[in-house]
Amino acid sequence: MMRYLCLLYVEERKYTPGAPGYEEVVAANVAANKAMADAGVLVDSAPLQPVRSATTLRIRDDETLLTDGPYAELKEQLGGYYLLECADLDEALRWARTIPAARYGSVEVRPLMAVGGRG
């Protein structure tokens, strides 16, 4: 088995509490979580706080630089993740298709590197 991180990129302003359709998106994510958990592939999943709550950290020449917000201004922001444990990429992609963000944003599926026996 291999672990895959599904990173959800969405237009944050469209998918925040109070936005039209927000309740439907939440319900669809709950259903996807349940299906993945029932199948035994879901390791973890969570939405992220709004991008304005982010702090970007860089170290250059031993100096710590902090920037409020994301590093770059993008149309779609990282809004959450799913961590899946699947037999292979094909299975991970089948489950990623069930994540609602794939319908209105994008889902990046990446295998975790095996480090210290995990991956």
Please tell me the distance from the alpha carbon of residue 57 to that of residue 51, in angstroms, as a whole number.
14
Single pTM value for the model = 0.85
Per-residue pLDDT tens digits for 40-75: 999 999 999 888 888 888 899 999 988 887 655 667
Contact between residue 106 and residue 93 where contact means Cβ atoms under 8 Å apart: no
Q: Domains in the chain, please, with CATH?
A: 2-111 (3.30.70.1060)
- Per-residue pLDDT of 67-110, as tens digits, reads 887 655 667 788 999 999 999 999 999 999 999 999 989 999 99
Q: CA-CA distances (angstroms) from residue 114 to 9, 17, 24, 33, 42?
A: 25, 37, 36, 25, 18
Strands 63-68, 2-10: pairing kind: unpaired
